[in-house]
Amino acid sequence: MVNHEAEESLTLLSEPEIIRKRLTRRGSGHLSNQELFTILLSPGSKKVTSIVSNLLKTFDGDLKELFSASIEELTRVKGIGFVKACQIQAAFELMKRIGSYCKEEHPLISSTNDVVTLMAPHMRYLKQEEFIVLLLDGKNRLIRYHRISVGSLDQAVVHPRDVFRPAIAAAAASIILVHNHPSGDPEPSEQDILLTRELCMCSKVVSIEVLDHVIIGSSDYASMKLRELM
């Protein structure tokens, strides 16, 4: 038997309200990208469906591009103002933090997987190459991580003094090098290998061991240590 009252009440709801009800019943994992952005952008917007369509069309439905879009790029989309652009970036930043969340302020870094868990959510979608150094104490616990340089699409300029200066200042016992490849392919380049070996040689002078150099790709990673390239 058809419940006409239920059907009538459903038709009185706006699309965002219908999607929220669907989320409540089935969970957010069952919603499409379009529906998720509709919920995210719906407060205060009467034309949210067309705005979401504009947003996804602008980035060709590529969540990787959307994930790394700047405020300026987002506000170029018709219907996306400064406030909504900030909402989108804030949502994505929360996703990154959840992906790398650790209860401990100074987590133990005992494997390459620990490095990837900590850094990949922040680095895998970057449009430029960034070089990060993890500073570790004598028990391999993270003191903090330090951004050494931000480069171009395929290169970040790194000098040994810039790598070891924060390590010396923090009295680090060892360091782990991390950088991303915006191309998505984590395969080490010849330059990556040469730089790693240079930094390993410098580490002997300052007595701060380089434990690994991890390259982050879009869905994979490469460890110089595991590949015996250092």
Query: What's the pLDDT tens digit per position in 115-172?
Result: 999 999 889 888 889 999 999 999 999 999 999 988 755 566 789 999 999 999 999 9
Q: Based on the fold, state whether residues 87 and 144 are members of the same structural domain.
A: no
Do residue 29 and residue 122 come from a single domain? no
Stretch 190-217: mean pLDDT: 95
Residues 58, 123, single domain; the answer is no
Whether 213 and 176 have beta carbons less than 8 Å apart is answered as: yes
* Residue 106 main-chain phi, psi, to 5 deg: -125, 75
230 located within any domain: no
- 42-51, long-range: CB within 8 Å, 24+ apart, which pairs? 42/16, 45/79, 45/84, 47/79, 48/15, 48/16, 49/15, 50/79, 51/77, 51/78, 51/79, 51/80, 51/84
Q: Chain-centre distance of CA 209, in angstroms?
A: 27
Domain residue limits at 27: 11-99
> Which DSSP category does 108 fall into?
B
pLDDT at 51: 85
Output the pLDDT for position 196: 96
Highest-confidence range of 3-17, 55-69, 91-105, 146-160, by mean pLDDT? 55-69
Is 9's pLDDT higher than 60? no
Instruction: Using alpha carbons only, give the angle 120, 98, 63 rounded to the nearest 5 degrees.
Output: 65
**pTM confidence score:** 0.69
Residue 169 lies in a domain: yes
47 has pLDDT over 90: no
Q: Name the token pair of 97.
A: 């933090």
**Per-residue confidence (pLDDT) for residue 215, from 0 to 100:** 97
In a shared domain, residues 34 and 75: yes
Q: Are residues 117 and 58 in the same domain?
A: no
Question: Is residue 122 domain-shared with residue 78, that is, in the same domain?
Answer: no
Tell me what pLDDT residue 142 has: 96
Q: What's the chain's average pLDDT?
A: 84
What pLDDT sits at residue 201? 95
Number of domains in the chain: 2
Cα separation, 86 vs 80, whole angstroms = 10
The answer to the question of residue 5 being in a domain is no
